[in-house]
Amino acid sequence: MIEARNQEAIPSYVLDASALLAWLQGEPGGEIVEPLLNVAVMSSVNWAEVLQKSIARGVEIEGMRADVEALGLQIKPFTTTDAELVAQLYQKTQPQGLSLGDRACLVLAQQLNLPALTTDVPKRNRVARSRLGRLGLWRLRNRNSTHSITH
């Protein structure tokens, strides 16, 4: 049963699709995401990725948005300005292979001056530090084990 939480909380984290999927699918790192949902925000681009991957796994998505929003997750619309900023990151992040969804997450994190939470591979930490300045990018797991959130 889903327990409603305060939806008016000020976000403290930006979730990448991989972080929310880890929680939804019971994967390593997901246990870290659950208590943060009431202070997390996600781009609608990343939400689309969550839905797409859920559908691919045969998960019924009807009501999913209401469920995660009841837990406090905020889903922010992707604007034309966001699209321009994401496109501008392409050349900086192309060598690391960041997807459009990855860049949408990073842009939202930059706009809100919040750390982005992901479960993706370590190369993304190097991208955040070397190409995107002081943006915090925290991995919730590595290939072999779960880690607590550390910066």
pTM of the model: 0.79
Question: How many whole angstroms separate alpha carbon 82 and alpha carbon 110?
Answer: 11
Q: Is residue 4 part of a domain?
A: no
Q: Is residue 62 part of a domain?
A: yes
Q: Is residue 67 part of a domain?
A: yes
Q: Is residue 6 part of a domain?
A: no
Q: Is residue 97 part of a domain?
A: yes
- In which element (H, E) is residue 86 found? helix 80-93
Question: How many whole angstroms separate alpha carbon 56 and alpha carbon 91?
Answer: 30
Number of domains making up the chain? 1
Q: Is residue 95 part of a domain?
A: yes
- The number of beta carbons lying within 10 Å of the beta carbon of residue 33 is 24
What is 1-66 written as a DSSP string?
A: -PPP--TTPPP-EEE-HHHHHHHHTT-TTHHHHGGGGGGEEEEHHHHHHHHHHHHHTT---TTHHH
Tens of pLDDT along 65-107?
999 999 999 999 999 999 999 999 998 888 878 899 999 999 9
- The number of beta carbons lying within 10 Å of the beta carbon of residue 116 is 26
Q: Looking at mean pLDDT, say which of 98-107, 121-130, 140-149 comes out highest.
A: 98-107
Would you state the structure tokens that stand for residue 116, as one six-digit string? 């982005």
For residue 144, pLDDT over 50 is answered with no
Amino acid letter for position 15:
L
Structural domain containing residue 24: 13-37+44-133
Domain with 71 in it: what CATH number? 3.40.50.1010
Q: Is residue 113 part of a domain?
A: yes
Q: Is residue 17 part of a domain?
A: yes
Task: Evaluate whether 29 touches 19 at the Cβ level (below 8 Å).
Answer: yes
Q: With both helix axes pointing from N to C terminus, report the angle between 44-56 and 17-24 in degrees, rounded to the nearest 10.
A: 40
Tens of pLDDT along 5-62?
544 689 999 999 999 999 999 988 888 899 999 999 999 999 999 999 999 999 999 9
